[in-house]
Amino acid sequence: MPADRPAIIDIHQDEVLTGEAVALDVQPLGFFMRALGVLIDMLLGIAVLVLFALVTSWLVGLGIVDDAVFPILAIVVIVLVTVIVPTVVETTTRGRSLGRLAVGGRIVRTDGGAAGFRHAFIRALVGVFELWFTLGSVAALVGAFTPRSQRLGDLIAGTYSERTRTPKLPDPALGVPPTLAEWAAVADVGRLPERLSRRLAQFARSATNMEPSARARLAASLAGEAAAHVSPVPAVEPETFLIAVVAVRRERELRALQLETARADALTAAVSAPPRGFPDR
């Protein structure tokens, strides 16, 4: 590639490009989970407003608070609930709230950094219109048509909701049992149907969580189906046979994928190589 030609960086939808040009693989919070978090926060705000109304009515009935002061207190409490409290909570907790803690999310900048006071204040201010005045309809409409389920306040503030609860990693794959190491070198598992292969792999992953009698019955049934497509069939227990078949097939598919990738890289390098000059006569 020429030195004066800028490099092209391919950024996927779930990746964030930082200021150092590093692509981070992050997962935004889904639309419905984010809507649930917003609903929880709004219900908490409504509960505070209802509690204020009850307490104020009781104080007015006792004559402790004048009727003329009630509208002023109501405006102050509304501003606290809709703007000040969300801003302070998001700023101090680095983008979290009770609703987002419940659904496993937090507000971050579009470059993956932590959101600050300015971002929280803009989101809360715009949220007065899109969440409270329209009962969340504007936020739902905008979030449904943005890739990261961003509401209007996020688009203006440059933020989105990041998923903080990552899914559990799968258990490490089982290898070929030592007693079948020699068999694995000559076994023919290429004729195994794809659907049956997936069933065998699923059994190998979940066998330890099954009830022993059901586990033995299912292993015998699957081994009988797989034996018709595997050659030679070793004289071992059904579950050991299934684990070995799954491991051999996985290793060979991985080896084939690596060879295909290497051939593709070699072909790409050959095509992109500069042409050789003709020899001088």
Kindly report, residue by residue over 128-157, the tens digit of the pLDDT.
999 999 998 999 999 999 988 899 999 999
Angstrom CA distances, 121 to 96, 125, 151, 219, stand at: 14, 6, 14, 59
Distance of CA 36 to the CA centre of its chain: 16
Rounded to an integer, the average pLDDT of 226-253 is: 89
Q: Of 9-18, 127-136, 151-160, 264-273, which range is least confident? A: 9-18
| Backbone angle region of 196, left / alpha / beta, with phi > 0 → left and psi within -120 to 50 → alpha | alpha
Name residue 15's beta-bridge partners: 25
Q: Looking at residue 10, what is its pLDDT?
A: 43
pLDDT value at residue 206: 85
The Cα–Cα gap between 21 and 266 comes to 27
Residue 9 clears pLDDT 60, i.e. is over it: no
Q: Is 213 exposed, middle or buried (0-12, 13-18, 19+ CB in 10 A)?
A: exposed
- CA 14 – CA 155 distance, rounded (Å): 17
pLDDT tens-digit map of 15-60: 444 444 444 456 888 889 999 999 999 999 999 989 988 888 887 7
- 180-189 tens-digit pLDDT: 888 888 888 8
Report the relative pairing of strands 159-163 and 23-25 from DSSP bridges. unpaired
Report the pLDDT value the prediction gives residue 21, as an integer from 0 to 100.
42
Whether 275 has a pLDDT exceeding 80, the answer reads no
Q: Cis before residue 232, ω within 30 degrees of 0?
A: yes
The Cα–Cα gap between 101 and 126 comes to: 22
Highest mean pLDDT among 151-160, 258-267, 268-277: 151-160
279 or 188: which leads in pLDDT: 188
Question: Which span out of 16-30, 99-113, 251-265, 267-281 was modeled with the highest average pLDDT?
Answer: 99-113
Mark 255-272 as b/e (b = at least 16 C-beta within 10 Å).
eeeeeeeeeeeeeeeeee
Q: Mean pLDDT over residues 65-91, rounded?
A: 87
The two tokens of residue 136 are 């969340």
